[in-house]
Structure 1
Amino acid sequence: MLLCRVSALARRGLGARRVAAFRPALSFSSAGDAAAAPGAGAQPPGEYQDTVLLPRTHFSMKMSGQKLLDLELRIQRECGFDQLYTWQRERKAKKEFCLHDGPPYANGDAHVGHALNKILKDIHSRFEVLRGRKVHYVPGWDCHGLPIELKALGELHTTHLTPLQIRQKAREFAESAIASQRASFQRWGVMADWENCYYTFTGSYEAAQLRVFQDMHSKGLIYQDYKPVFWSPSSRTALAEAELEYNSEHVSTAVYATFPLNTLPPKLATSLGDLGKVCVLVWTTQPWTIPANQAVCFMPKAQYSLVKRRDNEQLLLLATERIASLSTTLSTELQNLATFTGSDLEGGVCQHPTLPGKEVPLLPANHVTMAKGTGLVHTAPAHGMEDYSVATHFHLPVECMVDEEGRFTEAAGAELQGQSVLKEGTSTVISMLRAAGALLKEEQCVHSYPYDWRSKTPVVIRASKQWFINTANLKDMAKEVLQKVRVMPESARASLLAMLDRRTYWCISRQRSWGVPIPVFYHRQTGEPLINKHTVAHIANVFAEKGSDSWWAEPLETLLPPDVLKKSKAGDVTDYVRGEDVLDIWFDSGTSWAAVLQEADPRADVYVEGKDQIGGWFQSSLLTSVAVRNKAPYKKLVVHGFVLSEKGEKMSKSLGNVVDPSVVINGGADSTVSPPYGADVLRWWVAESNVFSEVQIGPKALNAAKESINKLRNTLRFLLGNLQGFDPRTQAVDSKDMHYIDQYLLHLLREYSIKVTDAYSEFDCGRVIRLLQAFITRDLSSFYFSIIKDRLYCDGENSLGRRSCQTVLEEILDGVTRSIAPILPHLAEEVYQHAPGHDEGETLFRSGWIKSSPVWRKPGLEEAVEGACAIRDSFLSSIPGCNAAEYDLTIAIEPGLFFELMESLQEEPTSMSSQLTELMMASRTTLTSDLPRDLPSDAVISKGSFVINLEGGVIHEESAYTVAAIPISLSRCPRCRRYTSDTPDCLCSRCQMVIGKAQ
């Protein structure tokens, strides 16, 4: 046949033309209408009604309310949702897929952000299971840290507790939160190793963490030092940058203050010496740090000027480019007396404005900017990271005058002692500046300021003795290995690199009880730390056996036995006390790769978390893994956005816009306001969202998801209804024997399956849904279903044409069901229970991915069917608003390849039952090379052309065609409703034969 000749046709992508060629005879929403009739859509008379094979199924068109919830829970039980993970781990599989779970924080019930994250992970895990891979997905929880400790203490209403009492209460709180969250995750249908989860408070996990700590300490990457860190007065502990949130509306009292020049810079002494007393002008938003000032910094390459105030003749030193702005700020003209470069200021010495007798130097520094202020920066090494760098370089003292509660200490002087630096302490310092004549102006400044993300209160930068990781020595390697990691979306890579650049060191010590203790002992007399590979390795073994409570519960001799002291060349055990700090929880969770991924190459295929983890878990995992193994713990990073309200607002209880996933699934107190949507609606919302940006949720989005699933159910119901009584194992038709349009649909199904597989592989579930909806709406409802209804309903039950159609419908049902299964596992398993071709008790997720065959791809077939579509496009456009079945068509095509293609669809010149007639949806079709000359006057003529490319365009043929549509002279068959009967009220020959055989 001709199709063999054109098997090498290049694909030309005529899908859009095919859609345009057909009017939707069956919409997406009505695809499951079991009463849909053949032909014009009306029911046949009662005499023949029972002879028409209409769809029949027990699969419901819609599911809602309690019935929906009961159905999902039944599906979970009957289909073994809780056993699927174990089953797939035990089966033989060639490939392993590891998705390492970033541990959610165990401090409350599951929220909608958890739903986005866990469901996104589960969709991909289920996809990998269906593809035949052995999935490694062990859920975990981050169990330590300040929020849990504070909540535990809040329940006790007392502060007089031992560390062990605090830890016990915190553990109970975390365990309760874990149980609640786990139940929610399971209800969402998340497939995981729920019997073997990991928890950061178990002894085995803590031991693995300490072994990473030991390795990094041995390499000199972990050290103790006295330097400024972010400090939370409300929590009384050091914080990492990942534990901060910046309040862009914070209000500080900023001041312009003067530092009198006691010693002029040598290079300017001659030119400025005769002018009188000169003052250096500085600006700061944190005036409480001025008592700790040790220097004033300038930019060496910038231009500076000596100016005179017109209003009081005062001489001020400031950056030249700030003169105009400062004239406005100080409400006076500033006359420029002399200009010089910043390097000329070197050697100058200033008088401290509030400490008589104290002098501070003028020093060069590259962190000075000209965007705000005066171009001269007040420098307090105990209260600024850049200030500390200057102090380190120039050997300045680092004096902290602020205690753990954020109050001035005795070192700040009697006037300031005990005052909160962020409150009354600031006012007192400003008063001291005013009294000293050093205050030029104070103003309210709105700017971005770091807050403790837990207590939502401002932090301070404060020098203290802490344990640090030297990230400067890790950053280059971290950047290098990141180049080998695929990041989705790629735009997130820049943020990862920027966050790495900003982290000069990582403070890992916390002043709390609920966490993994830093395994260090201090000498009672000297305070020197005792920590080495022998001490840490021993403590790790103790923790593995007894947990980290042993740090407080066990005698010191158990933690520091004689053999360890001997190896450490230390004195007697009585010379030491155990440390009281615990490790940062980002170090806790950042070492999960070592505790959970215990294969020969503990590296996950992918980490999937929200964008807040760019500076959190993604980074802490990367740094610890690079430190120990010189490689990343992940091959791919998927970074999703945050969940916002339907109005695009951040969710908060005060705004009343918080969406509770439990209420989404089960409904609220008032079902008219908060109806029960079930888990699959929540999962559809996740899948349909563009997870790589911010994701919105609310009634509108949830109702849209529900409606989309109902439309999908209708299509699935149509497929199931027309497969009633069909067994693909015994009644399926080989594809080479099928009608061409049926073969063509298999070709489209294969295209669909390939695209869906690619979309899932890219974590692009939104594209999966778009492909699904386009396939159902365009290829099925508006095209295939419209054309096949007559053959499906009115041909003989066991006829080749009907079985051919059913074979394709079963393949479509199977392919569509499997394609939606990762997103809608409950619906997919429900469909599978109704679908033919498998035994009772079988489940979809144990039966594999979409089963498409390469033989389904037949480019020559595509040309034939889409060529017919082009002809029908012309025909339909010429009879707008009319029923195609009421016409007798004559199609004239000039001799050539296109004519031969149409001949393959209709071998005889005229036919009422050919595949070409079926595609036209007409009652009779004549195929000829020339139109007859005696066409009736009511004939409607339309013309067009169709282009065929053979062998990649080597052969190019454009063929013209003409279609004559003539109102049919035949009568309407009372059974099939087509105009194919010779006389009224008589059955057409096809229907006579079908009924005759049935009788």
Structure 2
Amino acid sequence: MLLCRFSAVSQTLAGWGRRSTRRGGLLHRALTISCSRGSGEGSVKPARVSSAQGLYRDTVLLPRTDFPMKLTGRKLLDRELEIQKCGFADLYSWQRARKAKKDFCIHDGPPYANGDPHVGHALNKILKDIRNRFEVLRGRQVHYIPGWDCHGLPIELKALGDLGTSGLSPLQIRQKARAFAKEAIARQKAAFQRWGVMADWYQSYYTYDGAYEAAELKVFQEMHSKGFIYQDYKPVFWSPSSRTALAEAELEYNPEHVSRAIYVTFPLIKLPPKLASQAAGLNRISVLVWTTQPWTIPANQAICYMPKAQYSVVKRADNSQLLLVATERTTSLTALLGTELESVGTFTGSQLEGGICSHPTIPDKEVQLLPADHVTMAKGTGLVHTAPAHGMEDYSVASHFKLLVDCMLDGDGRFTELAGPELQNLSVMTEGTDKVISMLKDCGALVKEEQCVHSYPYDWRTKQPVIIRPSRQWFINTASLKDKAKEELQKVRVLPESARGSLLAMLDRRTYWCISRQRSWGVPIPVFYHRETGEALITKHTVSHIAKLFKEKGSDCWWELPIETLLPAEVLKKVTGLVTDYVRGEDVLDIWFDSGASWAAVLEESDSRADAYVEGKDQIGGWFQSSLLTSVAARNKAPYKSLVVHGFAVSEKGEKMSKSLGNVVDPDLVINGGEDPSMPAYGADVLRWWVAESNVFSEVQIGPTSLSSARESVGKLRNTLRFLLGNLQSFDPRVQAVDPREMHYIDQYLLHLLREFSIKVTDAYSEFDAGRVIRVVQAFITRDLSSFYFSIIKDRLYCDPEDSLGRRSCQTVLEEILDGLTRSIAPILPHLAEEVYLHAPGHDEGETLFKSGWIKSSSVWRRPGLEEAVEGACAIRDSFLSSIPGKNAARYELTIAIEPGLLFELMESLQEEPTSTSSQLAELMMVARVNLSSELPRDLPPGAVVSHGTFLINLEGGVIHENSAYSIAAVPTSAARCSRCRRHTAKSADCLCLRCQTVVSQAH
């Protein structure tokens, strides 16, 4: 509670500190100037002073340092590069070689190797590096191996360019794709290093590396042997533009997709038995269905209804047509069709069982009415057209009722001959849809056509619509893994916690995962097929053999080696058949399986679980999930102990970055600057500050305003550190430091605040909350240092004898503050921190900050009664300042009256004598003199300002609890102002105060 009270006090002190600087004497103004202006070399020049003051200028210990106030342009960039070369180059290997009680591992989610580094990379890599550097400082052995996702269609397409795949062998395609990926990796790696990211750059992992592929195949084999991986013919998301199957994670949904939605009738040729009596006299009833995919009508096998819903036969007023629809959809259909719909019979969905319709465009084809749980009443007619080959839920109905799953489409998304001569070779998304609608119109089945704007899946790489079509593919049965995966996920810490729901929802929605791709650039699925039967040959022996070959030669050997080497006799003898009976498979693994198995290739075997996975929110349905599923399937546990989910980098207007909008921010330009004056060279630390300062758990805005603000914040911090360095000139803490027990109370109190500060900073870093670190640092500097401590100790620091106990006490604390502040910002601003460390006292030349540990604090810094003594004095000062608003406190003498008791004893610890101009209490009050007594004198002069207050003392957990009253009388001092220290403590205007007389006489 005392600290809460002190917070309010310190706000007042902050204002007073500004007033005292503004209204103080000439020396105070000189000191302000000296701390804000330096020469070209960074040394501090005294301000112009009067002739009297000039006599004493050389005896005032103003701050001096060669630490530059500013570094800009080329000097800034050169300095950062120099520090990286000297201080960062061997840091990762050094910390891996040292002995440590604990390890810390962030497993790096591999960025895709298909382009230049961007701000999204910067956000992610710097966020990870901040935590890793913090862990190195606190003495842990960090495991961080950066990696790249190197396979997949986008790289293949970019590598081939206009060549396409025509005439190229798989090995030629792979050669070009690998070269393209390597070039992208080199550019990205150079950028990550320039951002100051500490990592094992010599042991990075690549998904095209043979050893990595071998580890991936071991995961594949383990999952296959457990029955989680299987081959089947079922609907999958298929990209005609890529000619390959896609997993859910490879889709992006376009909310502005426009479909031609149609209402179509299916004549009811056999009434459901339960309706035969109710429908007597009703002829030619048609079931009305709605679909946004007209091209799927030729593949229709059934119409589904909701068993518990209510349905009606309605008569159109305009043409007497009888339609079967859901009762609750009647009103909206009336508006849609523009005619009244008269109900002529109502019944429940379960009564539709056994009904049969005729297909509108395929003669003699019968279509059953079937119950299904996926039917909803949100849109359409409440009766759902069902094409098992082209819908996931449709396929589930077909599996249950043993319906045919015929595919009428080829890999290019065109109708095959199975669709009939009228449709053959037509693209289903364009002219195929046109033709189907035309056929429905010709046979009188088309009731209504409308445009429907809705969310539709697109291939995330080609940006073209996908379709659902059945194909023989390899799948992971995620439905059988789901419960265990959710159980393991509940043990994982998720930041922010709100992301857990999305992770669980993604798992719920995923029943199977298609992991085969019809491409050349990827890890081959290690399967052989019988030439005649097509039966797959895949065993632990065949997979283990292929994994061994991949580790030795890389996966190119799948195409390079003869099948006799891939399937040798000693492996084949474990199954029946000859090697000539088999051919190698042509599919490759989904890149999400590639990266999802990275835990097996990268994490150390001792635990093989990372402390954290840190990625953007798009990985909720991507890498986070593929890693979880493969790990749970293979070894029954999650690969991570915690997940950190950050947002995306967006423009300052909150817009997604795109070249067409011209709002893309290039991190290289942020660091090195551009030709446009609005983009100066900010350096890597400003980019890192932007990352740290942002609320990374939401969308992160970047642009000129945020970067300029970041630079300004770093500049202010630099000046604070420079002030500290300037006041530690010629101070060596190894021999001149003062024992805390001998320090002034306010110095001890600052050590106490520094200890609390270090605890808050440590907690924030441990929570991946660098933004909170910055807020804690800025509050400590602004409130506790600039507005409070620095304003109080300047007189003692500048004007006391150089080797005096009081000044050394102060310098001891300043050195601790400098050290604590430097270490606290080091994970965020490593270049600035190392630069400060080079200038800081107390360590040998050549030492680096990151090899010297975390913030040092001691329990000795917290003493009983210390807080209460200083905070009690601050409360009294607060009352005094409130009584003289706008006036200079240094011109007053104070009489503080406190009845005998605990508060009086605390004030006596700050001033033992009844009256003093140089006591710790006088220093805290920043007045000319303090008189301490048990009561105010009765003969106060007429100009005295009297105020009263109370202070609550709470010691030993409430055992000592006392609310003490005090009174204050402030009287303008009669003492003269000292020409050297500018305090009102001299006997006359032409005389120095006793302290300054002593200092000057010793100096001469």
Matched, 1:23 2:30: no
* Local SS of the residue matching 1:880: coil
What residue in structure 2 maps to residue 594 of structure 1?
Answer: 600
Q: Distance in 2 between matches of 1:557 and 1:984?
A: 106
Tell me which residue corresponds to 2:369.
Answer: 362
Taking every aligned residue pair, what percent have the same amino acid on both sides?
A: 76
Structure 2 partner of 1:610: 616
Q: Using a 3 Å threshold, how does the CA distance of structure 1 residues 34 and 918 change in structure 2: closer, same or farther? A: farther
Aligned-pair CA distance for 1:934: 1.3
Is 1:60 the equivalent of 2:68?
Answer: yes
Give the Å deviation of 1:31.
9.8
Does residue 1:820 correspond to 2:856, yes or no?
Answer: no
Alignment of 1:242-641 (within 5 A): 242-567=249-574, 569-641=575-647
1:665 aligns with one of 661, 667, 671: 671
* 1:766-777 correspondence runs (5 A): 766-777=771-782
Residue matched to 1:5:
none
Q: Report how many residues are paired.
A: 988
Amino acid at match of 2:743: M
CA contact (8 A) 1:430 1:439 kept: yes
Per-residue deviation, 1:37: 11
Q: Which residue identity is paired with 1:181?
A: Q
Distance 2:386 2:812 in 1: 80
One-letter amino acid of the structure 2 residue matched with residue 19 of structure 1 = Q
Instruction: State the alpha-carbon separation in 2 of the partners of residues 750 and 380 from structure 1.
Output: 68
Which position in structure 1 is the counterpart of 2:963? 958
Question: How far 1:156 sits from its partner (Å)?
Answer: 3.9
- 1:83 pairs with 2:90: yes
Q: Distance in 2 between matches of 1:42 and 1:748?
A: 39
Partner of 1:117: 124
Following TM superposition, by how much is the alpha carbon of 1:437 offset from its aligned partner in structure 2, in angstroms?
Answer: 0.5
CA contact (8 A) 1:24 1:783 kept: no
Contact 1:38 1:790 in 2 (8 A): no
Q: Post-superposition shift, 1:783?
A: 0.2
Alpha carbons of 1:818 and 1:603: their partners in 2 closer, same or farther (altered >3 Å)? same
Which amino acid letter does the alignment assign opposite residue 596 of structure 1?
Answer: V
Asked if the contact 2:83/2:835 (under 8 Å) is kept, the reply is yes
CA distance in 2, matches of 1:383, 1:542: 39
Over aligned residues, Cα RMSD in angstroms? 1.7
Residue identity in the other structure for 2:589? L
Taking structure 1 as reference, are residues 43 and 250 closer, same or farther at Cα in structure 2, changes over 3 Å only? farther
Distance 1:836 1:718, change over 3 A: same
Measure, in 2, the Cα distance between the counterparts of 1:287 and 1:539.
45
Q: How much does 1:938 deviate?
A: 1.1
Q: How does 1:700-711 map to 2 (within 5 A)?
A: 700-711=705-716
Alignment partner, residue 675 of structure 1: 680
**Residues 34 and 46 in structure 2, CA contact (< 8 A), matched pair in contact too:** no
Q: Which protein has greater RCO, CA pairs closer than 8 Å, 6+ apart?
A: 1
Q: Distance in 1 between matches of 2:305 and 2:371?
A: 5
Match of 1:837 among 829, 834, 842: 842
Contact 2:165/2:173 (8 A) holds in 1 = no
SS in 1 for 2:404: coil
Q: TM-score scaled by structure 1? A: 0.97
Return the match for 2:169 from 159, 162, 168.
Answer: 162
1:10-69 CA deviation, whole Å, 9 max, x = no partner? 876633323324535369998943689999999971111111000001111121111111
Q: Report the residue type matching 2:559 in the other structure.
A: W
3-state SS, counterpart of residue 154 of structure 1: helix
Alignment partners' CA distance in 1, 2:211 and 2:97: 24
SS for the counterpart of 2:15 is coil
Give the counterpart letter for 1:695 in structure 2. V
Return 265-274 or 180-189, whichever deviates more. Answer: 265-274
Tell me, yes or no, if the aligned pair for 2:819 and 2:855 is still in contact at 8 Å: yes
SS of equivalent residue, structure 1 residue 297: strand
Per the alignment, residue 33 of structure 1 pairs with: 36
- For residues 47-105 of structure 1, give each alpha carbon's deviation from its aligned partner in whole angstroms, at most 9, with x where no partner exists: 111110000011111211111111100111121x1210000000010101111000000
Q: 1:987 to 1:790 in 2, by over 3 A?
A: same
Secondary structure in structure 2 of the residue aligned to 1:647: coil
State whether residues 833 and 849 of structure 2, in contact with CA within 8 Å, keep that contact through their aligned partners in structure 1: yes
Match in the other structure for 1:3: none
Q: Sort the Cα spacing of 1:233 and 1:661 in 2 relative to 1 into closer, same or farther, 3 A.
A: same
Give me the whole-angstrom Cα distance separating, in 2, the residues matched to 1:132 and 1:849.
Answer: 8
Deviations 1:266-315 (A, max 9, x none): 10012113211100000000011000000000011111111111111000
Partner Cα distance (1:43, 1:294) in 2? 105
Match of 2:691 in 1: 686
Cα distance, 1:225–1:871 mapped onto 2, change above 3 Å: same
1:911 aligns with one of 911, 916, 919: 916
CA distance in 1: counterparts of 2:658 and 2:278, whole angstroms: 61
- Are the structure 2 counterparts of residues 157 and 591 from structure 1 closer, same or farther at C-alpha, using a change threshold of 3 Å? closer
Q: What SS does the aligned partner of 2:606 have? A: coil
2:934 corresponds to: 929
The Cα shift of 1:894 comes to 1.6
> 1:974 and 1:31 mapped to 2: Cα distance?
18
- What displacement does 1:157 show? 5.7
SS of match in other structure, 1:933: coil
Deviations 1:129-179 (A, max 9, x none): 000000000000000000000001116466220000000000000000000
Letter in 1 for 2:36: D
CA distance in 2, matches of 1:777, 1:43: 35
CA distance in 2, matches of 1:603, 1:743: 44
Q: Gaps spanning 5+ residues in structure 1: where?
A: 1-8
Q: Which of 37, 48, 61 does residue 56 from structure 2 map onto? A: 48
Alpha-carbon distance in 2 for matches of 1:726, 1:970: 34
User: TM-score of the superposition, structure 2-length normalised?
Assistant: 0.97
- Please state whether the residue corresponding to 2:910 is helix, strand or coil: coil
Once residues 442 and 158 of structure 1 are traced to their aligned partners in structure 2, the CA distance between those partners, rounded to angstroms, is 40
User: 1: CA distance between counterparts of 2:508 and 2:539?
Assistant: 29
The SS at the match of 1:758 is helix
Cα distance in 2 for residues equivalent to 1:859 and 1:109: 58
Per-residue deviation, 1:402: 1.1
- Distance in 1 separating the partners of 2:399 and 2:8: 69
Residues 916-995 of structure 1: matches in 2 within 5 Å? 916-995=921-1000
Question: 1:796-823: per-residue Cα shift (whole Å, max 9, x none)?
Answer: 0000000000000000000000000000
Task: Show structure 1 runs of 4+ deviating over 6 A.
Answer: 9-12, 27-31, 34-44
Taking the aligned partners of 1:31 and 1:196, their CA distance within structure 2 comes to: 50
Match in the other structure for 2:80: 72
1:808 paired with 2:813, answer yes
Aligned equivalent of 1:4: none
Corresponding position: 1:148 with 2:140 = no
**Which runs of 5 or more structure 2 residues have no equivalent in the other structure?**
23-31, 39-43
From the superposition, tell whether residues 561 and 43 of structure 1 become closer, same or farther in structure 2 (CA, over 3 Å). farther
CA deviation after TM superposition for structure 1 residue 911, in Å: 0.3
Tell me the secondary structure at the aligned position of residue 45 of structure 1.
helix
Distance of 1:741 and 1:41 partners within structure 2 = 31
Q: Distance in 2 between matches of 1:799 and 1:119?
A: 45
Query: Amino acid of the residue matched to residue 131 of structure 2?
Result: H
1:753-783 deviations in Å (ceiling 9; x for gaps): 0000000000000000000000000000000
8 A Cα contact 2:13 2:787, kept in partner? no
For the Cα contact (< 8 Å) 1:22–1:873, is it kept in 2?
Answer: no
Distance in 1 between residues matched to 2:691 and 2:296, nearest whole Å: 48
Give 1:23's aligned amino acid. G
- 1:598 to partner: Cα distance: 3.2
